[in-house]
Amino acid sequence: MVLNNYRKEDKVLLAIDCIIFGFYQEELKILLVERDFKPAKGEWSLIGGFLKMQENLEEAAARILKNLTGLNKVYMEQVHCYSKIDRDPEERTISVTYFALINIEHHCKELLRQNPIKWFDIKDIPTLIFDHNIMVKEALTLLRNRISCKPIGFELLPEKFTMRQLQKLYEAILDTELDKRNFINKFNSLDLLTKLKEKDMSSSKKGAFLFEFDQNKYHKKVEKGFSFKI
């Protein structure tokens, strides 16, 4: 006879909340959803759901992201675990957060078809349900730390981009103005970009050269223990 040694233990729900960052028109954005059920119906929330029995955390985060937004195979990273007893007024719920980075230009149209979902500027986030504003703040802190030592920001850019776009991305995430010459010199020293012959002609008559991120160079440098600190 097999005994269930855990049957007397308390059971709690485990939620996954996704902080989805995007970059558009030189602004860092976050994707939120208008909650359509109680409690807090009609209020803004992070994209979220619950862990299923046959999933690990990463699988649950990927499923929730795809089911609610249609997004798949995007950069995701675990942020933190929230276990305050009364954080959810409905039932005892622990939440594990992930941040995701997506290219809005590539995904924007399909996301805009879904009415309850909306992009907000990171500086204009409304009051969110429960402890979600704290989650966003801590995810943003982790994103800033990561982008300062690892080139994950390229997940937010189009495949071909200008140096201005790259600098504006870093400025939006770090919430600070960067010196143009120092920024360009630093990235040139990292040797991660391939300069193309093509130009973006939308900003001036002279145009600006386009660049691509060289993943092969990046992975080779990682193997050698290269520091990417910006």
Task: Give the end of a domain, one of 89, 120, 147.
Answer: 147
Query: What is the residue-wise DSSP string for 174-216?
Result: HTS---HHHHHHHHHHHT-EEEEEEEE-SS-SS-EEEEEE-HH
89 with 165, same domain: the answer is: no
- Same domain flag for 218 and 175: yes
Rounded Cα gap, residues 139 and 164, in angstroms? 25
| pLDDT value at 33 more than 60 | yes
Confidence category of residue 111, pLDDT binned at 50, 70, 90: low
Structure tokens at 69: 């937004």
Mark whether 114 and 171 lie in a shared domain: no
Q: Which domain holds residue 184?
A: 153-223
Question: Which residues, at least 6 apart from 13, have a Cβ–Cβ distance to it below 8 Å?
Answer: 50, 88, 91, 92, 93, 94
Residues 78 and 180 in one domain: no
Q: Is residue 214 part of a domain?
A: yes
The Cα 125–Cα 139 span in angstroms is 14
| 48 & 91 share domain | yes
Residue 1 has pLDDT above 60, yes or no: no
Q: Look at residue 69 in the predicted model and tell me its pLDDT.
A: 81
Domain end position, chosen among 117, 147, 177: 147
pLDDT tens, residue by residue, 132-169:
999 999 999 999 999 988 888 999 999 999 999 999 99
Same domain, 34 and 100: yes
Residues 55, 123, single domain; the answer is yes
62-76: pLDDT as tens digits: 999 988 888 888 999
